[in-house]
Amino acid sequence: MDAPSLKPTSVITGGSGFLGSHLSDRLLKEGHRVIAIDNLITGNVANIEHLAGNPDFKFIRHDVTEYIFVPGKVDYVWHFASPASPIDYLRIPIPTLKVGSLGTHNALGLAREKGASFLLASTSECYGDPLIHPQTEDYWGNVNPIGPRGVYDEAKRFAEAITMAYHRFHQMNTHIVRIFNTYGPRMRLNDGRVVPAFIGQALTGEPMTIFGDGSQTRSFCFVSDLIDGIFRLMMSGFHEPVNIGNPREMTIREFGEEIRRITGTQSQIEHKPLPVDDPKVRQPDITRARKVLGWEPKVEFDTGIRETIEFFRDKV
């Protein structure tokens, strides 16, 4: 039998997804043992294949809406499993609801059983189509519960509620990060989100599909900055939600222009209908993250987006 490891052990649900795989890399660098759990609905083993053979890394294919069994000690549970793209919520609405509700319940149960700290990957979608701007954590949001995005937004809002209940009722050490739009290598080329969509279209010369008139705004954070904020949050003693994202806001039209400029593409612009309940604005207020975690994003948009474009170059 293996001698018990002195290294901290982290379980990551959604461990082979875009964020889960970057988190795995970071935690291994921090000297953790990492157990990544994923049912591969939207995750991809290619994201973690570079970790195969690493004695501190283990992958378990499992759907966390079913009971999660992990032998041995666990110090941290990072609950990242969930579809995260609007077209995925439309394609798999019920698994989206289940992983945010049943999956979060199981992940909290695992953390409680092991006496582990817990972190929920929540989302700026909790604010819905926001009526205050930029969004602060004390804003309760403007969500349509029965719209097509409601399956994600409400599942994550439920996930926040049950996480706070476990904190208050079971005195668990829990954390909630509200993740704003994040980009970087290992996004899925065809996941439908604007970053891979525009880059893929620009690299192949296909028309770039702007939904609506492109005046809606988003604020894009590079993945290494996001992971750093999340790591700090787990190690903190702070239990209320914290926004992590980059406040640099731009319209989707401006984002398209940036991609055109950097890739030098000849792609034309094609307008498509705006999806139902598409938020008109989104920008994180990161005052709390600055104060509580001493965190703010560092990677310039130009640097991050060039690295992301390079990643996609041989994927198209």
Q: Which is nearer to ligand UDP, 173 or 209 (CB)?
A: 209
Among residues 12 and 252, whose Cβ is nearest to ligand UDP? 252
The residue among 65 and 123 lying less far from ligand UDP, judged by its C-beta, is: 123
- Least Å distance, CB 294 to ligand UDP, is 27
Instruction: Clarify whether 152 is annotated catalytic.
Output: yes
Kindly state the smallest distance separating residue 178's Cβ from ligand UDP, in Å.
13
Q: Which is nearer to ligand UDP, 240 or 278 (CB)?
A: 278
Please enumerate, as own/partner, the contacts of 92-97 that have beta carbons within 8 Å and a separation of 24 or more: 92/41, 93/148, 93/151, 94/151, 95/41, 95/65, 96/151, 96/152, 96/155, 97/151, 97/154, 97/155
The C-alpha atoms of residue 200 and residue 292 are separated, in whole angstroms, by: 37
Phi then psi dihedrals of residue 204, to 5 deg: -100, -5
User: Contact, 118 vs 110, CB < 8 A?
Assistant: no
Q: Would you say 121 and 19 are in contact if contact means Cβ atoms under 8 Å apart?
A: yes
User: Judged by CB, which is closer to ligand UDP: 141, or 192?
Assistant: 192
Whose tokens are 């700090």? That residue is 232
- Please name the residue that has the structure tokens 């750093």: 228
Give residue 301's Cα distance to chain centre. Answer: 18
Element (H, E) at 57: strand 57-61
Give min distance, CB of 78 to ligand UDP, in A.
Answer: 21
CB of 42 to ligand UDP, least distance (A): 13
Minimum distance between the CB of residue 98 and ligand UDP, rounded to whole angstroms? 20
What are the DSSP E strand ranges found in 124-248?
A: 174-179, 182-183, 208-211, 217-219, 221-222, 242-244
Residue-wise burial string across 301-311, b where 16 or more C-beta atoms lie within 10 A, e elsewhere: beebbebbbeb
Comparing CB distances to ligand UDP, the nearer of 103 and 256 is: 256
Residues that bind ligand UDP (CB under 6 A): 85-86, 181, 192-194, 197, 209-211, 216, 218, 252, 274-275, 278
List the one residue out of 70, 110, 165 whose CA is nearest residue 157. Answer: 165
**Coil, strand or helix: which one is 243?**
strand
Catalytic residue of the set 76, 89, 127, 152 = 152
**130: its two tokens:** 């926001």
Amino acid at position 150, single letter: G
CB of 216 to ligand UDP, least distance (A): 4
How many CB atoms neighbour CB 187 within 10 A?
26
Active-site positions?
A: 152
